């Protein structure tokens, strides 16, 4: 095996570890946010989360000399429209209208959407191992979130909103995969976050009166800041870092671990319980990640 091949495999392994770490950050943020977000204040709360990352990541970019050249500002800022901008505007509004299990099933479609986008836009190959990994991950999340259980009726609009958010997130992964070859992950994140904050602010203007009562609750505000830094700051930087080392569909194959980690956090920290079917789903998700990591090591 040549040195260049070994180096390539090592870069893929580093990228996979970065993705899994980012998934852990997202899961922790989801657990923290679980009892914080309320329907009347969803968009203001998301705005606070995003702004926390705007400030901290922006300071980090300036302090480390990662400010983008003026000619690249617009190009690097545009992904912020997709994620966390439109992604969380659509997804959180839709989430307030459907059962969590239904939303979880819909979220599972992101890996497949990314693989299709990568195939169409980046000409990345859909190999058998990638398809197997994606399939296992989707089945695992379906089991984990309670597929086949009876749920109350929910609106078509809610489903379309969540799918719109997922599609924006998937397209953002493709755009980031293209841009990260030309820029630094911190620079990309710091430049795109202010645009995301603007998108959320515009959404608040369009939807009318918002409740900001949570600003009077120090514990809630602290939880939003911490979860925002994990979700929109650290996780985004790690995702961008990893996408310079992995193909988009390789990264997407690891995304189902977010559901597994969130479920385990719910059991360990919130006292929730998993059924046998959900445990089987978790095993399938772990298997999908092993396959994705194996492909990263062996090409």
Q: Which is nearest to 188 in space by CA: 245, 237, 248?
A: 237
pLDDT of residue 104: 63
- Decide if pLDDT at 249 tops 90: no
**pLDDT value at residue 5:** 42
| Highest mean pLDDT (candidates 91-95, 146-150, 231-235, 284-288) | 231-235
Question: Is 276's pLDDT higher than 90?
Answer: no
Question: What number is the average pLDDT over the span 41-50?
Answer: 92
| Residue extents of the structural domains in the chain | 3-298
Between CA 60 and CA 148 the distance in angstroms is 46
- For residue 99, name the pLDDT band (cuts at 50, 70, 90): low
Residue 60 has pLDDT above 80, yes or no: yes
Please state, rounded to an integer, the average pLDDT across all residues of the chain: 80
Residue 149 in this model has a pLDDT that exceeds 70: no
3-state secondary structure of 255: coil
pLDDT beyond 50 at 6: no
pLDDT at 186: 92
Quick: pLDDT tens for 121-136.
877 777 777 778 778 8
User: What is 95-153 written as a DSSP string?
Assistant: HTTS-HHHHHHHHTTHHHHHHHHHHHHS-----HHHHHHHHHHHHHHHHHTTTT-----
Instruction: Determine the pLDDT at residue 4.
Output: 42
111 or 56: which leads in pLDDT: 56
**What is the structure's pLDDT at 119?**
77
Residue 153 in this model has a pLDDT that exceeds 60 = no
Residue 187: name the closest of 298, 282, 62, 100 by CA.
62
Q: What is the DSSP track for 39-66? A: GGGHHHHHHHHHHHHHHHHHHHHHHTT-
Instruction: For residue range 162-211, list pLDDT tens digits in order.
Output: 889 888 988 888 888 888 877 889 999 999 999 999 999 999 998 878 88
Question: Where does the pLDDT of residue 152 fall: very low under 50, low under 70, confident under 90, or very high at 90 and above?
Answer: very low
The residue among 19, 157, 8 whose CA lies nearest residue 97 is 157
pLDDT of residue 7: 47
Output the six-digit token pair for 1.
């095996």
């Amino acid at each position: 095996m040549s040195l260049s091949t070994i180096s390539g495999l090592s870069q893929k392994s580093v990228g996979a570890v970065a993705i899994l770490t980012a998934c852990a950050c997202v899961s922790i943020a989801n657990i923290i946010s679980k009892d914080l977000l309320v329907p009347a204040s969803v968009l203001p709360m998301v705005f606070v989360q995003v702004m926390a990352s705007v400030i901290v990541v922006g300071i980090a970019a300036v302090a480390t000399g990662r400010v983008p050249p003026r000619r690249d500002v617009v190009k690097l800022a545009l992904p912020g429209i997709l994620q966390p901008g439109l992604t969380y505007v659509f997804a959180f509004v839709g989430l307030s209208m459907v059962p969590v299990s239904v939303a979880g099933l819909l979220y599972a479609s992101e890996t497949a959407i990314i693989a299709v986008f990568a195939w169409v836009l980046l000409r990345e190959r859909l190999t058998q191992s990638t398809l197997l990994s994606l399939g296992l991950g989707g089945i695992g999340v379906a089991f984990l979130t309670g597929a086949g259980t009876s749920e109350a009726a929910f609106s078509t609009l809610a489903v379309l909103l969540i799918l719109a958010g997922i599609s924006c997130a998937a397209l953002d992964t493709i755009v980031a995969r293209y841009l990260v070859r030309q820029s630094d992950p911190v620079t990309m994140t710091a430049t795109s976050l202010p645009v995301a904050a603007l998108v959320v602010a515009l959404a608040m203007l369009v939807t009318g009166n918002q409740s900001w009562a949570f600003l009077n609750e120090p514990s809630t505000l602290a939880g939003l800041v911490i979860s925002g830094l994990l979700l929109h700051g650290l996780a985004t930087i790690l995702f961008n870092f990893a996408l310079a080392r992995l193909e988009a569909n390789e990264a997407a194959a690891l995304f189902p671990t977010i559901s597994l980690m969130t479920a385990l956090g719910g059991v360990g920290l919130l006292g929730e319980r998993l059924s046998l079917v959900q445990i089987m789903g978790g095993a399938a998700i772990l298997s999908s990640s092993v396959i994705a990591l194996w492909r990263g090591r062996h090409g």
